[in-house]
Amino acid sequence: MSNENIKIISKEILSDNWYTLNKITFEYLKKDGTREIQNREAYDRGNGATILLYNSANQTVVLTRQFRLPTYINGNETGMLIETCAGLLDKDNPETAIKRETEEETGYKIKDVKKVFEAYMSPGSVTEIVYFFVAEYSKDMKVSDGGGHHEEQENIEVLEIPFKDAVNMIATGEIKDGKTIMLLQHAQINGLLS
């Protein structure tokens, strides 16, 4: 890190139960030349990757549905969220990680993935950068039922949805996950299924 306007003074771990929550105290050089001390909390969960699986011939996409506690405690009645397949890198490169996650979560063993962009999803509080991918899938790539790893307490439902329906689900509020909205709109803008 090389921003001459920022000087980290201290870093304190507030929690390391699931991931790591740090309290950072830093000195910030303002535009007027004065310095001020600021404190912020940053949640470090590692970096991640996500993918939109699409089938041009059938005009379908593969999404997942699973329980997400933060959405439940913030008003989502069931806590269930429809999402693109995603996972943490776990020290792998993004392409290797997303291929692994795709097979674990959806049961599709894909070979060719295309990175389309990367983004910070909640930069005010989370350090994670997410790498976004797309890949064509076909029925012959299905090697298992998917559903995630039991030891990771994943209970993932695999959904195959017509692309047009998935895009409409954004407007109806059935899809509220940011990474999923971004990838569906990327597919729509770039004509991946036309």
Q: Which domains does the chain have, with CATH numbers?
A: 6-44 (no CATH), 48-189 (3.90.79.10)
Lowest mean pLDDT, pick from 35-49, 64-78, 118-132, 141-155: 141-155
Query: At a CB cut-off of 8 Å and minimum separation 6, what does 193 contact?
Result: 54, 56, 59, 61, 163, 187
- Average pLDDT estimate for 11-28: 94
Q: What are phi and psi of 103, to 5 degrees?
A: -65, -45
50-71 average pLDDT score: 96
Distance CA(19)–CA(153), nearest Å, equals 15
- Indicate the range of 42-56, 59-73, 142-156 predicted with least confidence: 142-156
Q: Average pLDDT, whole number, for the chain?
A: 94
In whole angstroms, what is the distance from residue 58 CA to residue 165 CA? Answer: 13
Mean pLDDT (whole number) for 66-72: 93
* β-pairing verdict for 129-136 and 48-55: parallel
Percent of the chain topping pLDDT 90:
89
| For residue 174, pLDDT beyond 60 | yes
Q: For residues 126 and 47, what is the distance between their CA atoms, to the nearest angstrom?
A: 10
Give percent above pLDDT 70 in the chain.
96
The mean-pLDDT minimum among 72-81, 106-115, 136-145, 148-157 falls in 148-157
Tens of pLDDT, residues 71-88: 999 999 999 999 999 999
What pLDDT score was predicted for residue 18? 84
